[in-house]
Amino acid sequence: MPVTPPSLFPPILPVRSGMLAVDELHTIYWEEVGNPDGIPVLFLHGGPGAGLSPQHRRFFDPHAYRVILFDQRGAGKSTPLGEWRNNTTQLLIQDIERLREMFGIRQWLVFGGSWGSTLALAYGQAHPEHCLGFVLRGIFLCTAAEIDWFLHGVQWFYPELYEEFVAPIPVEERGDLLRAYTRRLLCDDPNLYWPAARAWSRFEGRRVFLLPQEEETSSDTLDLGVGRLESHYMANLGFLEDDQLIRDVGRIAHLPAVIIQGRYDVICPPLAAWRLHRAWPGAQMRMIADAGHGALEMGIARALVGATEQFKRRRRFD
């Protein structure tokens, strides 16, 4: 298991939690943590499909923040698990707005990493009037180039993992690996989708951290959510127009933001974070020299807590 960084706040239980039906198919799990009168903050998990962890509550001072967290459609405790139908970026943005209205929040700080950074940017650009600012980690802009890197480019660093990932796919289908995996992951035959989901999740999970971990963290819930939803969103380029998140940065450029990026992130390489920073000069860029992709790596966790602490004091980032 990853070592818990000492910079995190102590473990905390939700003030309340529940389920919200967002359409005839999907019901999402939500929880509220911290001070009901504190600064509102929205936490967006990665994946898509990875879901929440109790550690996610610990980036925020519970006396100062009112934290709203939720499992996105098809992820974690939301039902049905791994459901890709009625699951798009635009629908997730609608779910966020339903939660904001349900909690009676006018504006909130938006905090997201990896796919959570994608969704944070898409949400902010759709509803800038409801955002106080952004804390973004491990930037993923969901472009074709980033998706190609995720699937193929990483073999330059992890050839053994790539070989394992490709092995279950017949040679004649390897010319379009994403399509081959998507066909298996999104079918109704558990004899096909379970092995594919575990292979996909393992391919990603074993390269999250810069340094090897003592034990991989995996579960059927994580494997199915990540495998199905990541392949679904990647096959559809995140339901975004070409380079949309860079093109529309001007809609949120007036808001404070901090971008936190691991120098040796091989899932979401630093170029995406650098492109975002160049398009958003007012955003603070913090490159963590000794980190990969994981939010719980020491340097990244320290920077994330540092960002929430600075925002708590000044409603901006230094």
- E strand or H helix at 112: strand 108-113
CB atoms within 10 A of CB 282: 14
The count of domains in the chain is 2
251 located within any domain: yes
Give the CATH number, domain containing residue 122: 3.40.50.1820
Domain boundary among 207, 238, 269: 238
Query: Are 138 and 263 within one domain?
Result: yes
**In degrees to the nearest 10, what's the CA dihedral of 208, 213, 219, 222?**
-20
**Nearest Cα to 200, choosing from 31, 27, 48, 58?**
48
Domain boundary among 238, 270, 301: 238
Query: Are 206 and 287 within one domain?
Result: no
- Token reading at 268: 């979401």
Q: Are 226 and 50 in contact (CB under 8 A)?
A: yes
Query: Are 131 and 232 within one domain?
Result: no
pLDDT for the residue numbered 3: 57
Distances (CA, A) of 185 to 59, 60, 73, 126, 316: 33, 35, 16, 30, 42
Query: Are 230 and 125 within one domain?
Result: no
pLDDT for the residue numbered 108: 98
271 located within any domain: yes
pLDDT for the residue numbered 318: 65
Query: Are 117 and 252 within one domain?
Result: yes
Q: Are 44 and 111 in contact (CB under 8 A)?
A: yes
pLDDT, averaged in runs of 10, over the chain (318 residues): 75 97 98 97 97 97 97 98 97 98 98 98 98 98 97 94 95 95 96 94 93 70 95 98 97 97 97 98 96 96 96 80
Query: Are 35 and 112 within one domain?
Result: yes
Residues with catalytic function: 114, 265, 293
Question: Can you give the residue range of the structural domain that contains 289?
Answer: 16-143+241-314
Q: Which amino acid is at 198?
A: R
Confidence (pTM): 0.96
Sign of CA dihedral 201, 93, 29, 8: positive
- E strand or H helix at 44: strand 39-44
Query: Are 164 and 61 within one domain?
Result: no
Burial of 35 (0-12, 13-18, 19+ CB in 10 A): middle
Alpha-carbon distance of 309 to 300, in angstroms, equals 14
- The phi, psi pair for 314, rounded to 5°, reads -130, -10
